[in-house]
Structure 1
Amino acid sequence: MDLAAQLAEVDRLRALEFPARRVTSAAVESGPGYHVADLAVSEDFHDADVVRREAVAEDFEAACQALIELLAQRWGEPQPLDLYPYLIRLEEGGQVPPPLDLICGYVSEVYGWTVGDRWMALGIGQGDRELPFQLVLAVGEAGALPSSGGEGRLA
C-alpha cells in the first residue's frame, strides 16, 4: 500500500470543502459536513482460503497502524471511537450524524483526531466475510460529534 498517497489523500480531504448535497465518485462519498474515502480496498474473498484472508487482514491492520502513527506525529495520539453504539442507534430508528451513519455498518472502530473545525478518523471495514477489506477515512465537521473536544481529540 502506498502510504505517501494515502497521507496525501488525508490532507486533500481535510482541506476539501464539503458540498451542499451528496456527491459520490469512485472512491469518495461527500455530502454536507462530511467526506468518506476508501484509501485502500482489497480483493474480495468469495473463493479465497482462510490463510489468504488472514494475510490480507494483517496487511490492512499494518497499513492502518502505519498511517495512524504518521498522523499521531502531527496531531497527537488518536482517540478510539467504538461505532457499535451508533449502529444500534440507527437500527432502533435514531439519528446518527454523518459520516458515522455511513460507516458504522461495516467499520466497527475508528481512531481519530479533531483538528480545528474538522475531525478525521481511520478504520478498517468489511461488509461481510466474503467482501473486500477497506481502509476507510472519514472527515467531518467537529461539531457533529457528541462531546467533541479540542485539538487532537475525536470525542
Structure 2
Amino acid sequence: MTTARHLDTIDLLRSRGFPAEPGPSDVGTEGPGFHIAVLNGQCGEVADRDGDADAAAEQRGAEHEALLDALTERWGEPDLFSLASAQLRTEADDEEVPEPWRRLGVVLDWLHLWRIEGRWIAVGLSGHQLLAVVTDADPP
C-alpha cells in the first residue's frame, strides 16, 4: 500500500510544472526545475514515534527497496549515481552546483536515477529520509 502512495506522489510530481521560486510544497520542497518529495512522511513511522531507531531505519530500507523494485519494473534498471562530486564541489565552493543536486548532495551519497520523458527521476535514502526527486536539471 505504501509503495502505491509513493508511486502516486512521483507521478504527481512528474505531471506538475516547476515553480518560478524555491519554497515548500505539499510533499517537500520545490524550485525552478525541480520537485523533492520526502516520502518517509508517508511511511508508517510508528517505529520513529516509539523511539526505536533501528526499526525505523529497517522500515525505511524496506520502503526504499520496494519503491526501487516498482520503478525498475516500470522503467527498467536505473543508474546508480554518486553525489560525491556535487558534495566536493559544494564544500570547496569552486563552482556552482545546480539545484536540486546541491541540496541532495548534502543529505545523500548515492541515488537511483532514471531519465523519463525529458525529466530525471531519482530516489535516494539517507539515514532518516526517503526522497523522490523530479527535475529537468542534468546531474552534475
What's the TM-score bracket when you normalise by the shorter of the two chains? 0.7 to 0.9
Residue 134 of structure 1: CA displacement? 1.2
Deviations 1:5-63 (A, max 9, x none): 11100100011101111131353211111011101145897x94xxx322221211111
Aligned length: 135
Cα distance in structure 1, aligned partners of 2:62 and 2:69: 11
Are residues 89 and 111 of structure 1, via their aligned partners in 2, closer, same or farther at CA, if it must alter by over 3 Å? same
Amino acid at match of 2:75: W
Partner residue, 1:35 = 35
CA spacing shift, 1:99–1:44, aligned 2, 3 Å: farther
> Taking structure 1 as reference, are residues 36 and 44 closer, same or farther at Cα in structure 2, changes over 3 Å only?
farther
- 1:24 pairs with 2:24: yes
Counterpart residue identity of residue 129, structure 2: Q
Q: 2:134 aligns to what?
A: 139
TM-score calculated relative to the size of structure 1: 0.78
**Structure 1 segments of 4 or more deviating over 4 A?**
42-45
Gaps of 5+ in 1: 127-132, 147-155
SS in 2 for 1:12: helix
CA RMSD of aligned residues (A): 2.1
User: How many Å separate the matches in 2 of 1:82 and 1:44?
Assistant: 29
Q: Secondary structure at the match of 1:145?
A: coil
Alpha-carbon distance, 1:125 to partner: 2.1
- So what's the TM-score if we normalise by structure 2? 0.86
Q: Which stretches in structure 2 are left out of the alignment for 5+ residues?
A: none
**Structure with a larger share of its residues in helix:** 2
